[in-house]
Chain A
Amino acid sequence: MTTTTAAHDDHGHHGPAKGIMRWVLTTNHKDIGTMYLWFSFIMLLTGGVMALIIRAELFQPGMQLIEPEFFNQMTTMHGLIMVFGAIMPAFVGLANWMVPMMVGAPDMALPRMNNLSFWILPFAFGMLLLTLFSEAGAPNFGWTFYAPLSTTYAPSSVTYFIFGVHLMGISSIMGAINIVATILNMRAPGMTYMKMPLFVWTWFITAYLLIAVMPVLAGVVTMMLMDIHFGTSFFNAAGGGDPVLFQHLFWFFGHPEVYIMILPAFGIVSHIIPTFSRKPLFGYSSMVYATASIAFLSFIVWAHHMFTVGLPLVTELFFMYATMVIAIPTGVKVFNWVSTMFQGSLTFETPMLFAIAFVILFTIGGFSGLMLAIAPADFQYHDTYFVVAHFHYVLVPGALFAIIAGVYFWLPKWCGNYYDEFLGKLHFWLSFIGVNITFFPMHFIGLAGMPRRIPDYALQFADFNAVASVGAFIFGFSQLLFLYIVIKTIRSGKQATPEVWEGADGLEWTLPSPAPYHSFSEPPQVK
């Protein structure tokens, strides 16, 4: 400890600065992680309000509350904000907090760039949200912004959207490079790759996905910009281009993107389930290999989003089978989680409840994904509420539940206090019930043929839509309870031990709770 303390004093390293400037100027991974998490929660509520506007309009058939044009802006902004503003930054926030502590590092590898990665986001989303108040209105072409809807027929706010996407991409790439450098270069002596905690492993692979596909997204929005304003013909068949080219490029980004939003969730759940089962994780190395396989496969399945666009038969078959292969590594993971629980001495604290719900509900989302992967069947499901049900099952009780589980799991480590277990469980049950009431009926109305992204619908879909809307309001408002619990825990609560949880294992639990401002000034030895 002695040498490090001396070295740190030389460079003027003391505690955090005071006031708001602490947050603006910080280079500390915990401060930046905290900002990411609060930002993503604000975005979750913003996107959530948009979801509730959508569900309120869909509560009954007919047009009640909003204009169809505004409805389209809501579905677009809801998707963009939840994907790029809520889920992705939340995982980056968790990575910022936990990766240096888990690998035994003093901080992230490139701390100033880390701050830059964060501070781009509030500005970018501010600009995106401001388009709602512009004369042309916000982007209204869906979060997948297919050409020519997003080029020839787009409102003028599309230009702001394009530059907003560029900024988010810059932020993501810098964040991912930082995480890769931290994991490659900052591990404590003795922490070999196959001793890395799974959250570190899954984020490591996720970071590579980000570095590989965010530039492709930048490329595709650049082509849009050029098509709209500078007369190019990338997505214009009249000039020899092809609107389908847009879909290929977008989904080459878009499919790895959905794994970017779920692989870190796998990592979190792989920490929580062993802890509360009081057993080591079953099949650690197979978990690593499964994660890597999923990441590799994510690059060769993109056209399963495009089965109905008019692909050659052989293409449809290739992408159908390649997609189905993903079920194998995913199945390995689910098997391992269940086997970890098998014969464990289980307790059901809030993080464990969210983690178990993740395993079950994510699996449901995975199965509906398999159904969608069947190319001939997809001609029926395509662009219906079945698709909406599918990806909300993997993203809400999947990614989001894992984030919430991670927050409950690590909150005592972050602020030194335990959360209120009763309120946590209440939050879980409200969320669990709300989420299923919202999204399960969407399977039925989707199979019955209700198209997605429409503000009005035929009468036979009325009952299930009403049910889904009630569930959405239960789920949405129960997240305010989450906010209350987190604030309450920060301010007070039972003092947490360094280990926090009885079965906890890993370097992060050797630090005191709350964790010191600089995690490991001296690298710990890993045996």
Chain B
Amino acid sequence: MATSSYYVPESSRLPIFTSIGLICMAAGAAGMINHISSGTEGWAFPHFVFFTGALIVAAVLYNWFGMVIKESMGGLYSQQMDRSFRWGMGWFIFSEVMFFAAFFGALFYVRQWAGPWLGGSGDKGVSHMLWPDFIYQWPMFNNPAGADLPGPNAIIDPWHIPLLNTILLISSSVTITFAHHALRTMQRGRVIFWLAFTVILGAVFVYYQILEYVEAYRDLGLTLASGIYGSTFFMLTGFHGAHVTIGAIILFVMWIRIVKGHFTPDQHFGFEAAAWYWHFVDMVWIGLFFFVYII
């Protein structure tokens, strides 16, 4: 419930700079992608717009989080403010879950309905008349228009790199919990160790993910353009990999803060938010491991 000391910040330049940075990134990215798609080589005006926007956003993020940390260390945030941050972070993660749900939903829909219908099953087998020779199977090595749109030659074996990555990410969820326990009991040395360990596990995960992509593109013919299998595979694992990268950067920032002596045993929501995000990324991976790699 409300207390009389809820901190309402003064007017700030940061939001408007964020908006300007975001619109530069959006318009720049759109122009850049259109430029690439039209087949023109080299740099053009949109590239500069995009990178200017990205620089602005990076600078804003640095300053915005810096300001929040300063306000927090200055004791401006009450318990109630802390709860606002908790609700905010929690529902932000939920929105991320829904973003992934769209891609998982696409995968389930294709495997459960659209694919079999293309292969002629069901009482609505109209679409199979387009490619009467198409036989549905998953993974889809032969696409309906196989001649123009070849499928992958092979897929990633789940029991090599993906299994290793599963072990890495689950371990990292454990190590971050060790770090959290150490933070609560004020053993700063152990926090620094376990958190660093977590970041390294995340980085190794990303490294293996990159190796896997190289293998897929170079040896297996599994690309973004190899039909719906490649589309769902790369979009799901790609967005997940991006989230691991962001999560590892967040954890690294938390590591710097701990080295600098921030956080107390009772007040360390910055750390907890990073840990929540990390667990979320971990959960998405478990979903990926089962539904994309194994089944």
The reply to whether the CB of A45 lies closer than 8 angstroms to some CB of chain B is no
Which residues from chain A contact B144 at a C-beta distance below 8 Å? Answer: 237-240
Cβ–Cβ contact A123 & B20, under 8 A: yes
Cβ–Cβ contact A25 & B16, under 8 A: yes
Cβ–Cβ contact B10 & A220, under 8 A: no
Cβ–Cβ contact B91 & A232, under 8 A: no
Cβ–Cβ contact A119 & B106, under 8 A: no
Cβ–Cβ contact B12 & A163, under 8 A: no
Which residues from chain B contact A214 at a C-beta distance below 8 Å? Answer: 95
Min distance, Cβ B26 to any Cβ of chain A, angstroms: 4
Q: Which of A24, A106, A241 contacts B228 (CB 8 A)?
A: A241
The reply to whether the CB of B220 lies closer than 8 angstroms to some CB of chain A is no
Top 10 A-B pairs ranked by shortest CB distance?
A219-B102, A231-B225, A238-B145, A240-B228, A242-B114, A123-B23, A232-B231, A523-B2, A215-B99, A116-B15
Min distance, Cβ A122 to any Cβ of chain B, angstroms: 8
The reply to whether the CB of B175 lies closer than 8 angstroms to some CB of chain A is no
The reply to whether the CB of A162 lies closer than 8 angstroms to some CB of chain B is yes
**What does the 1/0 interface line of A170-199 toward B look like (CB < 8 Å)?**
100100111011101111110000000000
The reply to whether the CB of A488 lies closer than 8 angstroms to some CB of chain B is no
Cβ–Cβ contact B88 & A115, under 8 A: no
The reply to whether the CB of A164 lies closer than 8 angstroms to some CB of chain B is yes
Cβ–Cβ contact A27 & B6, under 8 A: no
Q: Which of A4, A159, A240 contacts B115 (CB 8 A)?
A: A240
Cα distance A522–B2 in the bound complex, in angstroms: 9
The reply to whether the CB of B84 lies closer than 8 angstroms to some CB of chain A is yes
Q: A181-B84, A188-B1, A226-B231 are in contact. Are A112 and B14 (CB under 8 A)?
A: yes
**What does the 1/0 interface line of A235-250 toward B look like (CB < 8 Å)?**
0011111101100110
Cα distance A174–B88 in the bound complex, in angstroms: 9
Cβ–Cβ contact B228 & A239, under 8 A: yes
**Size of the chain B interface, CB-CB below 8 angstroms:** 82
**What does the 1/0 interface line of B5-19 toward A look like (CB < 8 Å)?**
111111111111011
Cβ–Cβ contact A232 & B16, under 8 A: no
Q: Using a CB–CB distance below 8 Å, which chain A residues touch chain B?
A: 3-4, 7, 11-13, 17, 21-22, 24-28, 104-107, 109-113, 115-116, 119-120, 123-124, 126-127, 156, 159-160, 162-164, 166-167, 170, 173, 176-178, 180-182, 184-189, 211-216, 218-220, 222-223, 225-226, 228-234, 237-242, 244-245, 248-249, 252, 310-313, 518, 520-523
The reply to whether the CB of B33 lies closer than 8 angstroms to some CB of chain A is yes
Cα distance A225–B239 in the bound complex, in angstroms: 14
Min distance, Cβ A251 to any Cβ of chain B, angstroms: 12
Find the B residue at minimum CB distance from A119. Answer: B19
The reply to whether the CB of B143 lies closer than 8 angstroms to some CB of chain A is yes
Cβ–Cβ contact B22 & A170, under 8 A: yes
12 other A-B residue contacts (CB within 8 Å) besides A111-B9, A177-B87, A245-B109? A13-B10, A22-B11, A25-B11, A106-B2, A107-B8, A119-B15, A159-B31, A240-B115, A240-B140, A312-B122, A313-B123, A523-B3
The reply to whether the CB of B130 lies closer than 8 angstroms to some CB of chain A is yes
Find the A residue at minimum CB distance from B104. Answer: A219
Cβ–Cβ contact B225 & A232, under 8 A: yes
Min distance, Cβ B118 to any Cβ of chain A, angstroms: 6
Interface residues of B in 100-115 (CB under 8 A from A): 101-103, 105-106, 109-110, 113-115
Q: Which of A3, A112, A213, A228 has the most CB of B within 10 A?
A: A112
Cβ–Cβ contact A105 & B23, under 8 A: no
Find the B residue at minimum CB distance from A123. Answer: B23
Cα distance A163–B148 in the bound complex, in angstroms: 30
Cβ–Cβ contact B4 & A25, under 8 A: no
Min distance, Cβ A230 to any Cβ of chain B, angstroms: 5
The reply to whether the CB of B267 lies closer than 8 angstroms to some CB of chain A is no
By secondary structure, the A interface counts as helix
Min distance, Cβ B40 to any Cβ of chain A, angstroms: 12
Q: List 10 A-B contacts (CB under 8 A).
A: A21-B11, A119-B15, A177-B92, A226-B235, A237-B127, A237-B144, A238-B148, A240-B110, A242-B113, A523-B2
The reply to whether the CB of B286 lies closer than 8 angstroms to some CB of chain A is no
Cβ–Cβ contact A25 & B12, under 8 A: yes
Min distance, Cβ B37 to any Cβ of chain A, angstroms: 5
Cα distance A21–B15 in the bound complex, in angstroms: 12
Which residues from chain B contact A245 at a C-beta distance below 8 Å? Answer: 106, 109-110, 114
Cβ–Cβ contact B16 & A167, under 8 A: no
The reply to whether the CB of B124 lies closer than 8 angstroms to some CB of chain A is yes
Cβ–Cβ contact A181 & B23, under 8 A: no
The reply to whether the CB of B241 lies closer than 8 angstroms to some CB of chain A is no
Cβ–Cβ contact A110 & B84, under 8 A: yes
Cα distance A119–B91 in the bound complex, in angstroms: 21
Cα distance A146–B144 in the bound complex, in angstroms: 22
Which residues from chain B contact A238 at a C-beta distance below 8 Å? Answer: 131, 143-145, 148-149
Min distance, Cβ B227 to any Cβ of chain A, angstroms: 4
Q: A25-B13, A238-B149 are in contact. Are A185 and B102 (CB under 8 A)?
A: no
Which residues from chain B contact A119 at a C-beta distance below 8 Å? Answer: 15-16, 18-19
The reply to whether the CB of B96 lies closer than 8 angstroms to some CB of chain A is yes
Which residues from chain B contact A252 at a C-beta distance below 8 Å? Answer: 102, 105
Q: A163-B27, A189-B1 are in contact. Are A239 and B91 (CB under 8 A)?
A: no
Cβ–Cβ contact A240 & B102, under 8 A: no
Cα distance A197–B56 in the bound complex, in angstroms: 41
